[in-house]
């Protein structure tokens, strides 16, 4: 039905067509994801205390950097890991140096937080100038790894690690994890 509002101005009105809110309600919800703490494997020669302290600071900031970059991608509903922080702190005594060793516990924490997927990763310092960022996207329901991602970076400083976190987030955003039901 076409209704003339003013001469030269008209609007098309379709009866029974859903409005924007109804259309949004019909869209499938985005899968939820949280990024767990990363392990650090350091095979480099430089073990000075200041270098190790800087690595630890960067490692602690890594999940937040990946989360922020994932939010910008808008394909995931990103859940900050603060929902699982008490559980992570309970694991910290046994698994502080290697959170990936508590992989099943992290899946359980993700399940308790109500997320669909968790990212469990590792920062590997291959040498003084090369790092590799590795991440698995794990389905909380099935306990299956749905994607394994690897990114190599040819620098070792906080700025490059932030860029690597953003690159990893882009890879997570484009992951085949979206192909699974």
Report d(CA 122, CA 132) in Å as an integer. 8
Output 88-91 pairs: Cβ under 8 A, ≥24 positions apart. 88/36, 88/37
Average pLDDT value for residue range 140-168? 89
The residues, ordered by sequence, that sit 6+ positions from 104 with a Cβ below 8 Å of its Cβ are: 143
pLDDT digits (tens, 9 = 90+) for 90-116: 877 666 656 667 888 889 999 999 999
Q: What is the pLDDT of residue 75?
A: 87
pLDDT digits (tens, 9 = 90+) for 54-103: 888 888 899 999 999 999 987 899 998 888 888 888 877 666 656 667 88
b (16+ CB within 10 A) / e for 98-132: ebbebbebbbbbbeebebbbbbbbbbbbeeeeebe
- Give me Rg for the CA atoms of the chain: 22
- Arithmetic mean of pLDDT over the chain: 80
Q: Would you give the DSSP letter of residue 135?
A: E
Domain spans in the chain, listed from the N-terminal domain onward: 30-179
Confirm if 154 and 124 have CB atoms less than 8 A apart: no
Give ∠ CA 81-165-149 in degrees, rounded to 5.
90
Predicted confidence (pLDDT) at residue 29 exceeds the cutoff of 90: no
Confirm if 3 and 54 have CB atoms less than 8 A apart: no
Q: What is the pLDDT of residue 88?
A: 82
Predicted confidence (pLDDT) at residue 127 exceeds the cutoff of 70: yes
Superfamily of domain 30-179: TolB, N-terminal domain (3.40.50.10070)
Using the Cα atoms of residue 88, residue 91, residue 94 and residue 99 in order, give the sign of their dihedral.
Answer: negative
Percent above pLDDT 90 for the chain = 38
Q: What is the pLDDT of residue 128?
A: 80
Q: Give the distance, in angstroms, between the CA of residue 127 and the centroid of all CA atoms in the same chain.
A: 26
């Amino acid at each position: 039905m076409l209704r003339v509002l003013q001469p030269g101005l008209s609007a098309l009105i379709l009866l029974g067509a859903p409005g924007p809110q109804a259309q949004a309600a019909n869209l499938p919800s985005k899968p939820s994801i949280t990024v767990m703490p990363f392990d650090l494997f350091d095979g480099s020669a430089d073990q000075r205390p200041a270098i190790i302290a800087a690595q630890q600071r960067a490692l602690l900031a890594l999940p937040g950097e990946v989360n922020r970059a994932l939010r910008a991608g808008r394909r995931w509903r990103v859940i900050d890991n603060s929902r699982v922080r008490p559980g992570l702190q309970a694991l910290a005594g046994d698994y502080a140096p290697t959170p990936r060793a508590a992989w099943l516990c992290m899946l359980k924490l993700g399940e308790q937080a109500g997320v669909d997927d968790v990212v469990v990763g590792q920062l590997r310092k291959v040498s003084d100038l090369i790092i590799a960022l590795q991440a698995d996207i794990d389905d909380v329901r099935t306990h299956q790894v749905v994607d394994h991602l690897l990114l190599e970076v040819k620098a070792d400083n906080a700025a490059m690690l932030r860029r690597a976190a953003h690159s990893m987030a882009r890879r997570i955003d484009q992951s085949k994890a979206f192909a699974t039901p």
